[in-house]
A and B are shown apart, each in its own frame.
Chain A
Amino acid sequence: MKQKNKDSNTFLKGLPKNIFAGFVVSLIALPLGLGLAIASEAPPISGIIAAVVGGIIVSVLGGSNVTIAGPGNGLVIVVLGAITTLGAGDLYQGYLYTLAAIVMSGILILLLGFLKMGRLADFFPASAIEGMLAAIGLGILSKQFHIMIGHNNASGGILSLLVQIPEAIINLITTGTTSEKIAATIGVLSLLIMIFYSKIRNKYFQLIPAPMWILILTIGFSYVYVGLDIPYPMESRFLVNIPDDIFGSLAFPDFSIMYKSEFLMAVFALTFIASIESLLSIKAVDKLDPESRRSNVNRDLKALGLATTVSGLLGGLNVVTVIARSSVNVNNNATNRSANFFHSLFLVIFILVFQAQLKTIPLAALAAILVFTGYKLATPTTLLKISKIGKEQIFIFLTTLITTLLTNLMTGIGAGILITFIIHVVINRSLSLFISHIFKPNILMFKEPDGGNYYVSIKHFCSFINFYRLKNRLDAIPENENVILDFSMCSFVDHTSFEGVENYVQTFDKKGGSIELVGLDKHDTDSKHPFAIRKMIPSMALKPIENYFTKRQKNIKITAKEYKWNYVPKKNKDTHFLSDFVFFKTRKISYYYNNLFDKNNCKSVFDVEFTEGEFIAKEIVKTTIFHIKLDHKIPVFTLDKEGLLEMIYSLAGFKDITINNHPDFSKRFYLSGENEEEIKSIFTDELILFLESNPYYHIESNGCSIMIFKKERLLSVKEIKAMIYFGEQLYTFLK
C-alpha cells in the first residue's frame, strides 16, 4: 500500500513535466501526422487518428515508458503501395480496403505480442535494416520532393520519381503557374527552416519545434492575405483537405476483398514493417531513457496491435512506436507514459479548435517536412558509416536498398537476409559451420564462484541468426553486474552481434555494471572498426596477433594512458624471465602479448599463452599476469588458495608452510617454498591481514621478482585494474 502511495506521489509530481512534454510532442505530431497521411495518399486526418488512438491506448496498456506512438515513416511506402494496388486506380476505395488490412495487421501484431515475439527484430542483419530504412527514406523523398515544388501530379515508382526531379524543376521555372510557384517557394523556404533550425541557437526560437514553425508561418501567411483583403492565391488542391465535420465523416474499413492475395500481402507487409519499426524504436528509446528502464516489448506490441486495430476501424493508419517524436519527448523531460497520453489530448484539441486554420496549410510545407525526414533516413553518411565497418556491409546495404527500390520492402529485406547469409558462408568458406549448429544451443552462462562475475562463453558462431540466444542470456543478468563475454571458442562473430552486444555494454555502463569482451585477439578481420566481422580460421590461428583492434585492447591502451604506463600489443617470444617460476616449470610458454608496463619497466601486466601437456592432450591456455621486478632478493615461494588451481608442487624441497598464530590464513591458503624460516620472516602480520582481507590471487616469487594472476583465462580490463591495485599494495608490503 505504501509503495502504491509513493508511486502515485511521484506520478503526480511528474505530471506538469509530462504535460509539457506531451504538448511539445503534439506540436510535431500534428504536422507529421498530416504529412505522413498525405504521403501515403490517405486522407490527412487518418494520420491524426492514428496518433490520437495510439497515444491513448499505448499510454494506458503499453509496457514502455517514454515512447510516443503514432503514424510511422516506415509504413508510408507500404500504405501507399497498398492503397494504389488494392484500389486499382480508385484511391478512396483503395484507402477503405487498406483500412481493412490495417485492422487485420493490428490483430496480427496483437498476436505477436501474445506469442512473445518481441525478439523478432533481432533476426535481421543490421546492415540490411539500414538498407531498408534508406529505401524508405528515398521513397518518401522522391514523392514529396515533387509536391514540395508544387508538382502535384507526379506518379511512378521510386526510381522514376527521382529521375523526374530535374525535369520537374525546369518545368516549374519555365511553365509553372502562379499557384505552383508560390507553393514551390513555400516548400523551399520550409525545407530551409527544417535544415537550419538546429543551427539557430536562440532559446526562445528553439521552444517551438521546426515543423510547428512552418505551420505557424504558413498559416500566418494566409492571414496576411485575409488582412489585406486579397483572395489567397493558392488553389485548394495545394492545401490540406480536412473535413468540416470530423466525427461525422469518419471512414470505415471495407473487408470485401479479404480473400485476395494482394490483400493478404498488404496485411503481411504492414504487420512486418510496423512491428520492426516499433521494436527498433523501443530499443532505441530505452537507450535514451534517463532512468534507463527496460521496456516490456511484448506488452508494448500487444498495446500497439490493439491501437492499430481501433485506429483502422476509425479510419486511421497503423500505430507504431516512433523514434523521432519519442526523442523529443525525452528531451523535454518526460518521465512516464502520461506524456504519450497528453500528446494525444493536445492533438484532439488542436484539431477541434484550429480546424479552419489547418485548412490553410499548403501541402508543399508539409512535403518539405517529409523531404527532410526522408533525407535523414537515406542520408549518404549512413553508407559512409557502414563502409567503415567493412566492404561486405556495403554490399549487404546496397543489395537491400536496390532490391527494395526495384521491387518492394518485403522482397528487399528478404534479399538482404539472404545475401548476408551467403556472405557469411563465403567468408567462413564453410556452410556446415552454420547448418550443423543452427538449432543447437551455443551459449554457456554461469556465475563464477569467487568474485561473482557472470561468465558467458559462446561457441561455434554468433551471427544475426542465433544472436537471440546470447540476447536471452544477457537479458537475464541484472545490469549492475559485471559480465565477461568470452569469444575464444567462437569462430565467427558478425557485425549485427557486435552491435547488439554494444547496446548491452552501454546499458550496463549506465546502470553501474560492465560487459567486457575477451578472446577476440586471434580473430581475423579486414577492417579497423570495432564492430567488423571477425572470424577464426584454423590456419590463421597461428598468425601473429598484431591486429590491435579489439575493444579490450583499446581499453587497455586507455588504461595505459591513465596510469602513464606504456602499452605494446605485439607478441613477444622472449619469455625466459617467466620460465623460472614454479608454475611454468611444467608449462611451455608460447609468447606474451598486450604488454602494459610502467616507465622503469619493473611492473608489467601482460597476457600470456602457454600450453599444458603434449601432442594430442595439448591444451592452449591464456591468462593475464602481473609481473613485478624487485630490487632486492626475497625467498622463493608460492601462495595458492586451497583448492583453486590444479597445481600441487611435488618439487623437491618444497613443503607446506604453516604460519604460527594465523590458523585461518593457513586454512585458506596453501603456502609453500624451500626456505621455511625466510619465508616466515617476510609474511608479517600486516601482510597476512592484507592477503586475508583482499580477493584471492595466486602469487609466486622466483627470488628476484613476483608474479600474480587470478584465473586461467584472460582478465577483463576492470579485473586488470583491480589486479594492478592489489599488486602495487603487495609490492609496498614486500619492500
Chain B
Amino acid sequence: MNERILPFKTILFGFAFSPKLEINVLETSRIAKFFNAKLLLLHVGEKTAEKELQINTILNECSEDNVTIEVQWKQGNPIDVITKTCKTAAIDLLILGALQRENVYQFYVGSIARKLTRKVCCSVLLLIKPSAERIVCNNIVVNGLDEPDTPLAITDAFYVANALGSQQITIVEELREKEVDVTIEDDKSLKKATIMKERLTNREESRIRKIINNQCEEYTQNIRINTQNIFGQRGYCIGHYAEIVRADLLIMNAPKKTRLIDRIFPHDIEHILSDLPTDLLIIRRDHLETKK
C-alpha cells in the first residue's frame, strides 16, 4: 500500500437560509458522523436573532450523536470568506448544497460553487438531493484518468466507500478520441481505429489494475470493483455514465488551474457542474501537500 489514507477530520458546510436548510443540515451532520469528523457550519451574511433562532432549532432537532457541530457567522464575499475559512480552519471537506434545477442550484452551482471548486484548497462535496431520511450510497463512480491526481482520487473513493458503506465502485477511464490517431473515413481506417482502441483499452485496464492493487486490502475487500472504458469527451462521458448507471456519488479529480479560454470552451469538470448527474465529490488535498 503506497497511498496513505487521509481521513476527513473537519467538514465545512456553507449554508444559506433556504427552505431546504433543515434537510441540508441533517444530511451534512450524518455525513460528518460517517467520517467521524467535526462539522463546521458557516453562514456568510448578517447574523440576526431570527436567523440564529432558526438554525439553533434545527440543530436541536438534529439527533446525530457524537458529532461536534460548530456554527460560525462571517460577513463578506462568500467566495473569499469560504476560501479563507478552509485554509485557516484546516478544512478537509467542503460541502455545498446544490439543488438540481432550483434557484439555489443556480446560485451555487452556477457561480459560487464553480468558483469555489477551483479556489478552495480542500475537497468539495456537492449535494444535489439531500434528504432527511438516509439514502444508502451504494454505487460510487470514480474517474480513472491518466493523471497524477488519479491514484489519490481512487484511494479516497475507497475510503469514502467504506465510510458510507457502499457496495460497488466503478472506475471509469475516459479516453480521448484524439488518442486514437486515426480519422475514421472508410472500412480500413475503422479497422485500424478499432484495433488501436482495443490496445488503448488494455493499457488503461492494466494501469487501473495497478492502482487497485496498490490499495490497502482492508478497504477493498468488501467492495465490488468494476472498470469501464469510455471513448469520448473527457468530463462529459463520466457524468452521463453516472446518470445511466444511477450512481449515488461521483468522485472526480480536482480541476487543474484554468485559464479564461477554458471558461469559454467548457471542458472536463465544467460539463458535470453545469448538469450535475448525482452528488459530486471533488478530491483535492493540496493543503496537506503544502504542509509537508
A interacts with B = yes
Closest to B194 in A: A478
Which residues in B have their C-beta under 8 angstroms from that of A478? 190-191, 194
Task: Name the contact of B131 in the complex, choosing from A63, A294, A615 (C-beta under 8 A).
Answer: A615
A610 to chain B, nearest CB (A): 13
- In the bound complex, what is the Cα–Cα distance between A528 and B129 (angstroms)? 39
A112 to chain B, nearest CB (A): 14
Is A686 part of the contact surface with B, judged by Cβ < 8 Å? no
**Given A459-B240, A646-B139: A116 and B183 within 8 A (CB)?**
yes
Is B186 part of the contact surface with A, judged by Cβ < 8 Å? yes
Check A294–B187 contact: CB distance below 8 A: yes
Which residues in A have their C-beta under 8 angstroms from that of B228? 446, 449
Check B190–A476 contact: CB distance below 8 A: yes
- In the bound complex, what is the Cα–Cα distance between A395 and B138 (angstroms)? 50
**Given A297-B185, A489-B243: A449 and B167 within 8 A (CB)?**
no
Which residues in A have their C-beta under 8 angstroms from that of B241? 444, 446
A537 to chain B, nearest CB (A): 16
Contact string, B128-148, partner A, CB cutoff 8 A, digits 1/0? 010101010011000000000
- In the bound complex, what is the Cα–Cα distance between A299 and B193 (angstroms)? 18
Which residues in B have their C-beta under 8 angstroms from that of A296? 185-186, 189
A302 to chain B, nearest CB (A): 11
- In the bound complex, what is the Cα–Cα distance between A632 and B189 (angstroms)? 57
B247 to chain A, nearest CB (A): 11
Check A457–B240 contact: CB distance below 8 A: yes
Contact string, B237-264, partner A, CB cutoff 8 A, digits 1/0? 1001101101000000000000000000
- In the bound complex, what is the Cα–Cα distance between A646 and B246 (angstroms)? 11
Which residues in A have their C-beta under 8 angstroms from that of B230? 444-446
Task: Name the contact of B266 in the complex, choosing from A298, A440, A712 (C-beta under 8 A).
Answer: A440
B167 to chain A, nearest CB (A): 6
- In the bound complex, what is the Cα–Cα distance between A616 and B97 (angstroms)? 14
B151 to chain A, nearest CB (A): 23
Check A643–B168 contact: CB distance below 8 A: yes
- In the bound complex, what is the Cα–Cα distance between A63 and B186 (angstroms)? 8
B174 to chain A, nearest CB (A): 10
Which residues in B have their C-beta under 8 angstroms from that of A642? 224
Check A299–B185 contact: CB distance below 8 A: yes
- In the bound complex, what is the Cα–Cα distance between A443 and B233 (angstroms)? 9
Task: Name the contact of A293 in the complex, choosing from B168, B187, B266 (C-beta under 8 A).
Answer: B187
Closest to B236 in A: A441
- In the bound complex, what is the Cα–Cα distance between A486 and B245 (angstroms)? 13
B261 to chain A, nearest CB (A): 15
- In the bound complex, what is the Cα–Cα distance between A444 and B167 (angstroms)? 25
Is B226 part of the contact surface with A, judged by Cβ < 8 Å? yes
Contact string, B256-292, partner A, CB cutoff 8 A, digits 1/0? 0000000000100001001000000000000000000
Check B233–A646 contact: CB distance below 8 A: no
Which residues in B have their C-beta under 8 angstroms from that of A293? 186-187
Check B240–A613 contact: CB distance below 8 A: no
9 contacts between A and B (CB under 8 A): A294-B185, A296-B189, A446-B231, A449-B226, A476-B177, A489-B244, A615-B131, A621-B246, A643-B168
In order of increasing CB-CB distance, the 7 nearest A-B pairs are A643-B224, A444-B240, A296-B186, A296-B185, A446-B230, A441-B236, A617-B135
- Besides A294-B185, A475-B190, A646-B167, 15 new A-B residue pairs in contact (Cβ under 8 A), listed by A number: A63-B185, A293-B187, A295-B186, A296-B186, A440-B236, A440-B266, A440-B271, A440-B274, A441-B236, A441-B271, A473-B232, A614-B133, A642-B224, A646-B138, A648-B167
Q: Show the binding face of B for A, using Cβ within 8 Å.
A: 129, 131, 133, 135, 138-139, 167-168, 177, 183-187, 189-191, 193-194, 224, 226, 228-233, 236-237, 240-241, 243-244, 246, 266, 271, 274
Q: Show the binding face of A for B, using Cβ within 8 Å.
A: 63, 116, 118, 293-299, 440-441, 443-447, 449, 457, 459, 473, 475-476, 478, 486, 489, 613-617, 619, 621, 642-643, 646, 648, 712
